[in-house]
Amino acid sequence: MGFWFEEAASPGHRLQWKVIRELYSGTSDFQNIHIVETEEFGVAMILDEIMQTTAGDEFIYHEMLASVPLLSHPHPSRVLIIGGGDGGLAREVLKVPGVDTVVMVEIDPLVIEVARRFLPGHTQSLNDPRLTIQCEDGAAYVRATAHSRDKFDVILVDSTDPEGDGPGQFLYTPAFHTDILGALSPGGIYVQHTGAPFYNPEVLTDVSRDVARQFPICQVYWCAIPTYPGGIFTFTAGSLGPDLTHPQRTAPYPTRYYTPAIHAAAFVLPPFLQELVGPSKDGGTRA
């Protein structure tokens, strides 16, 4: 018999998924990992009791996190992924023409191992020769890159949420954004998700305002993802040159959510999101 997995979106709201069966349960040095088969969204990964990705709707998140910055950059040959151990983001990044080097830095090797076993749709590109996987602290890797000559054209942060004691906490701090700035090539772009604004509005507010303070261009965009609380999910970008609001190129590969029109529309913020982002400061521009 199945059961219901329940996630607390806030003290006053909970989400539930009907689970057909549990496929895996384990604990790494960093977090608890569960793989379940859900009735509505297929196989899903749960980290520390938070639903992270499902086979049913992961394409929305991964296409929007990859295609928006990569198709806004004129020559995104070197790409760094911080986190992303389930493999879905690397799959989308490697579809983009011109990408010849991708480094994925995932702190938890067990996430990669379990994803390879149970999420083949996510991990289909993890053996691509252009991809290097390093299992280490992503924040430390970015800090070292900031002080080296090996810069990246695009840096994408695909991490767990900053709440609690998980490994994603430091990836939402001003110190991390300073290191990101130093790790980018001239004209580079960085993007990270800034969560569900109905339930954790402070994440979007804090990150977007800090990025606007440190980067010449800060732009926020959003999409609708059924799995995540409230449906609306946001991303914050820092750019050293390109304007992300309109793609410079079209995607010569099939997509299930992303289109050039959706790309442009994603930067049109409803008033309540614009209020969270706030006005531009110190020369930063926001969409």
* CA 244 to chain CA centroid, nearest Å: 16
Residue-wise pLDDT tens digits, 184-201? 999 999 999 999 999 999
What pLDDT is attached to residue 287? 58
Q: Which token pair is 198?
A: 């109905």
Catalytic, out of 57, 108, 153, 158: 158
What pLDDT is attached to residue 278? 81
Instruction: Report which of residues 280 and 67 the model is more confident about.
Output: 67
Which residues touch 53 (CB under 8 Å, ≥6 apart)? 44, 45, 61, 86, 88, 119, 122, 227
What pLDDT is attached to residue 283? 39
* CA 94 to chain CA centroid, nearest Å: 15
Residue-wise pLDDT tens digits, 211-237? 999 999 999 999 999 999 989 999 999
What pLDDT is attached to residue 169? 80
What pLDDT is attached to residue 170? 86
Domain spanning 58-277 has what CATH number?
Answer: 3.40.50.150
Category of 42 on φ-ψ map: left (φ > 0), alpha (ψ -120 to 50) or beta = left
Q: Is 158 a catalytic residue?
A: yes
Report the predicted TM-score, pTM, of the whole model to 2 decimal places: 0.95
Residue-by-residue DSSP string for 133-167: EE-S-HHHHHHHHHTSS--EEEEEEE---SSTTST
The CA distance from 220 to 205, in Å, is: 10
Residue-wise pLDDT tens digits, 146-168? 999 999 999 999 998 887 666 67
Across the range 34-58, mean pLDDT stands at: 97
User: Which residue, 154, 168, 157, is CA-closest to 94?
Assistant: 154
Residues 287, 219: contact at Cβ < 8 Å?
yes
Q: What angle do CA 149, 105, 73 make, to 5 degrees?
A: 60
What pLDDT is attached to residue 280? 57
pLDDT band at 122 (very low <50, low <70, confident <90, very high): very high
List strand residue ranges (DSSP E) for 28-164, in order.
32-38, 42-47, 50-54, 78-83, 101-105, 131-134, 152-158
For CATH 3.40.50.150, list the domain ranges present in the chain: 58-277
Q: Which token pair is 50?
A: 């938070």
CATH class, 3-52 region: mainly beta
Residue-wise pLDDT tens digits, 259-269? 999 999 999 99
User: Which residue, 9, 50, 55, is CA-closest to 197?
Assistant: 9
For CATH 2.30.140.10, list the domain ranges present in the chain: 3-52
Q: Per-residue pLDDT for 39 more than 70?
A: yes
